[in-house]
Structure 1
Amino acid sequence: MEFTAQQLGQYNGSDPSKPIYVALKGRVFDVTTGSSFYGPGGAYTMFAGKDASRALAKMSKNEEDIISSLDGLSEKEIGVLNDWEKKFEAKYPVVGRVVS
């Protein structure tokens, strides 16, 4: 499935009848099984329904970092993002891609 950023936002955990999605490097993961982390009240709820690539690379929960842009990231930050991507791939199914 293809999602615009706006469509992805509908899967932010606020509607219990919908799955929870988080995108990483443009790939959309179904993180519903991790709803204690990504659902309402979870430690990572701010990533739900968004592309959290930059924030995860920077290990940041700041709103301005919860975007898909990788511009200006250091080699180390890209490595951190790649590690997150491997964790997501091992734990959550990919359900689509974010398109602009």
Structure 2
Amino acid sequence: MFGSKSKEPTEIFLKNESLDLDSLPSLSRQQLSKHNGVEIPKLYVAIKGLVYDVTENEKSYGPGKAYHKLVGKDVGRLLGLNRLQLKEEEDGRIPNTWDLSDLEEKQLKIVEDWIVFFKMRYPIVARIEEDHQ
């Protein structure tokens, strides 16, 4: 996984890799949305169902900061499309930020690269409950 161009695994990465994901607390997407630095003082970003605590990087993710639009969401789709928010559909609804079903292979690879980025820097603190809709 760590080729000559990659950095050595960080302590945070090694802790994340050794986690028993099934033992993590689970959050609904609604609960995740409250971890936005306003309703709840923690800043959480989820990717593909895993929740990362980005609170230590408040200068980038805090309210009013550049990446705050990613906070409180499962953002795989946004990362794969290289966007901070999604455009509304013709029917006025906003697509799900976690839906990766129509991303191309190249975009899915970008999501996987972002997962490594987050795993290297931020602790995984929870997982997202699956919606049964």
Deviations 1:53-78 (A, max 9, x none): 10011101124466111011010100
Checking the alignment, whether the CA contact within 8 Å between 1:12 and 1:50 is kept in structure 2 is: no
Unmatched segments (≥5 aa) in structure 1: none
User: Which of 16, 26, 51 lines up with 1:2 in the alignment?
Assistant: 26
Larger radius of gyration: 2
User: Which of 62, 80, 84 lines up with 2:114 in the alignment?
Assistant: 84
CA RMSD in angstroms, aligned pairs only: 1.4
Is the partner of 1:42 in helix, strand or coil? coil
Is the partner of 2:34 in helix, strand or coil? helix
Query: Match of 2:61?
Result: 38
Q: How many residues align?
A: 99
Instruction: Write 1 or 2 for the structure with the bigger share of helix.
Output: 1
After superposition, residues 50-65 of structure 1 pair within 5 angstroms as: 50-63=73-86, 64=94
Instruction: Determine what percentage of the aligned residue pairs are the same residue.
Output: 36
Q: 1:56 to 1:65 in 2, by over 3 A?
A: farther
- AA of the residue aligned to 1:87: F
Runs of 4+ in structure 1 deviating by more than 4 angstroms, as ranges, are none
Checking the alignment, whether the CA contact within 8 Å between 1:56 and 1:81 is kept in structure 2 is: yes
Q: 1:66 to 1:90 in 2, by over 3 A?
A: farther
- AA of the residue aligned to 1:68: W
Normalising by structure 2, we get a TM-score of 0.70
After superposition, residues 62-77 of structure 1 pair within 5 angstroms as: 62-63=85-86, 64=94, 67-77=97-107
